[in-house]
Chains A and B, each alone.
Chain A
Amino acid sequence: MPTVKLYANLRKLAGTKEVSITGATVEAVLNELVRQHPPVGDVIFENSHLRPHIVVTLNGHNIIELGTPVMEQDIIAIFPPIAGG
């Protein structure tokens, strides 16, 4: 089952840093994540699309296409808007 890692304020909203979620694509995993943790959905989605500045990576590579397939051992990381330097 793919692992979803959450960062910054998403951890507080989900009550966890990490969760395992079933899904065949990145989009399916994110939808299930939001179903299980609705407050996360308010931060990452707007009208079913990712909000601006939400970064989603699959095994460390940026995901632009949410239909990208995921495998059992994959790690999806979700970052809310962050900045720094």
Chain B
Amino acid sequence: MRILMLGWEFPPYISGGLGTACQGITDGLTQLGHEIIFVLPKVLGAINTARLQLLSAADFSCPLYTEELEPVLPSKPQTIAAELKLLPIDSPLQPYFSSAQYSSRPHIDGLATAMDGDQLEYVASPQAGDYGQNLVAEVIRYGMAVGSLAMTHSFDIIHAHDWMSVFAGVNARLVSGKPLILHIHSLEIDRSGANVNGEILEIESYGLKQADHIIAVSHYTKSRIVNFYGIAPERITVVHNAVSQQEARRQRATVGDKNIKTVFFLGRITFQKGPDYFVEAAARVLQIMPNVRFIMAGTGDMTRQMVERVAELGIGANFHFTGFLKGKEVENAYAMSDLYVMPSVSEPFGISPLEAMSYDVPVIISKQSGVSELIKHALKVDFWNVDEIADRIVALLKHPVLADELKDRGWEEIKKIRWDKAAEKIAEVYGRAILEKREAGG
């Protein structure tokens, strides 16, 4: 099968979990023998995989709209291998941009900045009511370019990731008549809580209604799509994310000063990730175990508030902010941690606990996360229950047998969560969608 895949991140151009997931999905699908044309806003540098073609949509601007488009950087489609194409469209868009950050950044360095790290740096602002026209305009422009690209490429199915690919997906379907699968990794209501951006919500809602079928990264996300967006549950299939075999092969080793225990938080410091609950739990733990170090890595619109709260609680000596961590620094942070905590308020999936487990770090995760559906060998808490989080942290630090049991069983567990299995489920969704389209006379 030939797949037109529309995304916003692809390693090494990633800022978060979406890119990692896209790579896993394409790896899995190409292993199954499928061919993929992956269209990105812009491709820099070379990517080498077997059946994936990464393309830039920049070369495929829709003639009708050419004059409205800004000049784009010339970028050749890079064909790495017969089965894989990656097409870049020149755009500084990132999935987790807020309008304010978007407009404050020169368009051209957007992607370059994103390449600096492999972790989410830019966030949806809680006061996001004033999204500039530019962000949505970019999404529309990308959509037009993909529509044009769709005219010159042949494929059997369209697979679009998250809201930013919605217009692109719908346009590609309009041009080709092929079924559109919308893959939801994250929803606006998860990212922004009560302060949702109306336009994004509308685009999401439009895409969910338009798609021939929807893939959700968790049952949690599926139920939110059903309840908040009014989509019929039979139109949604759950496919959990997985762990790359590269990660599963990682050497099991931890380093660092083992006289002091380290508890780690990594993620955007935003409402969605529940950093405030982590800080409060830290203060509770320190009442009982004074010799524990807490590390909060990442940036976000709640950073300042968190720093102030740590000072207010008087726990600054044991609580450290690292700011945004990059590649190797993230690895080091995992390696020196005794425990990873993800107290997310609303987490469609949450791939970082799987990463932590692959570094032999036991994890505490919120029950309100998609990943908690997938893994058994983790401690699961309600994000709002600070005492429960603190209780679990103390237990893990106090009882080595508990930590060892979680590490050993968790290690066994994540080895089995493979992308090729997720890809098989996705391929089934394709097959059904194509069949339904055919039966409907499409």
Q: Do A and B come from one complex?
A: no
